[in-house]
Structure 1
Amino acid sequence: MNLHAIRAIYRFEMARTFRTLTQSIASPVLSTTLYFVVFGAAIGSHMGPIDGVSYGAFIIPGLIMLSLLNESISNASFGIYMPRWSGTIYEVLSAPVSWLEIVIGYVGAAATKSVMLGLLILATARVFVPYEIAHPLWMLGFLVLTALTFSLFGFIIGVWADGFEKLQVIPLMVVTPLTFLGGSFYSISMLPPVWQKITLFNPVVYLISGFRWAFYDKADVHIAVSTGMTLVFLGACLLVVWLIFRSGYRLKS
């Protein structure tokens, strides 16, 4: 394992984040803070508890997931797209570095940024809404697992995209709607029976449900199922990334 190469890629990507703190950190935190003000403090104060949890506290896991998924995809996709766009990817590919080491560097940096952002949003939520975390270690583990999974997904998008506009197509047109419909602001048990079954085809439901269980020991889907679905998606992303490097798809041409 070429640790020097991994560290070089990782440090380069992290340095880019700290050069653009307003865009990378401040903007997502501010956007999520507005959600807490509107839905948590304003609307939440007029709503009853859900599963014994106040509405303001109930939406915290969903809001963190909303930011985490979008930022993981955005960070990873932009991180690999820029070397492709500028042509510096050929320097990386010609270096004595394996595909796994390249992925660890880029995806590791993207996941680190997303975890930092998630923890900042969690700290910000404390200002507006009181909450407790029933399983803090599980919460942190699920946060890291989700960040890694969707950073891998973002890496795939960054390789697939052939223009800057395509970097935003999947996050805006697919991931964000699925997150809003995945129980970010409500429990799927509140839906009619037919829609409850349909909602289970939304993969984001399992992420939000598992993360919410770590906070309040309550979930729409059993925690084992949520973890299993996340690991399956992680494995599928790893397989696709391996196939990309094996075939050279949009990396060597």
Structure 2
Amino acid sequence: MINFYAIRAIYRFEMARTFRTLTQSIASPVLSTSLYFIVFGTAIGSRMGEIGGVSYGAFIIPGLIMMSLLNESISNASFGIYLPKWTGTIYELLSAPVSPVEAVVGYVGAAATKSMMLGLLILVTARIFVPYHIEHPVWMVGFLVLTAVTFSLFGFIIGLWADDFQKLQIIPLMVVTPLTFLGGAFYSIGMLPPIWQKITLANPVVYLISGFRWSFYGQSDVNVVVSLGMTLVFLLVCLGIVAWIFRTGYKMKT
């Protein structure tokens, strides 16, 4: 039987930490993304033509939201589980009547919630700078939730793997951010030469951004079914890794 009290306790603790640091957790990412809207959407976008019938400022909105969502999901989840490891309180969690499933749901649920809050705030903020429409709002929310949960799981894995605070930043800064910039956040991969279009398809972030953009404007670089399938595959891979970590105690009991 699932211990909902344990899940709620972990979830509320993590959410409380967010509300204690609103400037760092919410205000700073929203401000940073707003600068992208000002520079790329207003200054540069006004001098560029439309992409697939969509103004450039509106075209980059899904990419910017996805970029913030990926980074914040990883950051929130990795720091949330690494902090108990660093302070030694993770042993209390391991010895408490809390199953691995309950711990993962609590930590990942809180990280995903924070990321989705940020994504929705950025979406509202974007309206100040550029007009846009959402053609498939239900699918938009679905992709938002699925991506937030998937990359919160990925961040949870990074938090368990990391030995110090520097390692928490290696993968987000050295891997995820470059993949996001090269994944079509600011352009359509159809604008690239044919050989680079094929190479770009090896970038998993392409499928996330493409599917999310389709929910806004009904157009995408990759078939939306393929985008959804790739996201689900990554989610299942992360779930498998988390299950293995808890089964073996990797980086947790040593």
TM-score range, shorter chain: over 0.9
Aligned mates of 1:23, 1:157 — CA distance in 2: 20
**Other structure's SS at 2:239 match:** helix
Question: How far off its partner does 1:121 sit?
Answer: 0.1
Aligned mates of 2:138, 2:117 — CA distance in 1: 16
Q: Which runs of 5+ in 2 are unaligned?
A: none
Alignment of 1:1-253 (within 5 A): 1-253=2-254
Aligned mates of 1:240, 1:250 — CA distance in 2: 13
Aligned mates of 1:136, 1:189 — CA distance in 2: 25
**Other structure's SS at 1:168 match:** helix
Q: Which runs of 4+ in 1 moved over 3 A?
A: none
Q: Determine what percentage of the aligned residue pairs are the same residue.
A: 79
Aligned mates of 2:82, 2:97 — CA distance in 1: 21
Q: CA RMSD in A?
A: 0.3
User: TM-score, normalization: structure 1?
Assistant: 1.00
Q: Which deviations, in whole Å up to 9, do the C-alpha atoms of 1:45-68 show, x marking residues without a partner?
A: 000000110000000000000100
Aligned mates of 1:209, 1:250 — CA distance in 2: 35
Aligned mates of 1:90, 1:162 — CA distance in 2: 16
Q: Which deviations, in whole Å up to 9, do the C-alpha atoms of 1:142-171 show, x marking residues without a partner?
A: 000000000000000000000001100000
Aligned mates of 2:198, 2:23 — CA distance in 1: 40
Q: Which deviations, in whole Å up to 9, do the C-alpha atoms of 1:25-80 show, x marking residues without a partner?
A: 00000000000000000000000000110000000000000100000000000000
**Other structure's SS at 1:238 match:** helix
Aligned mates of 2:173, 2:251 — CA distance in 1: 23
Aligned mates of 1:226, 1:29 — CA distance in 2: 26
Question: How far off its partner does 1:172 sit?
Answer: 0.4
**Other structure's SS at 2:202 match:** coil
Counterpart of 2:91, as a letter, is Y
Aligned mates of 2:186, 2:19 — CA distance in 1: 31
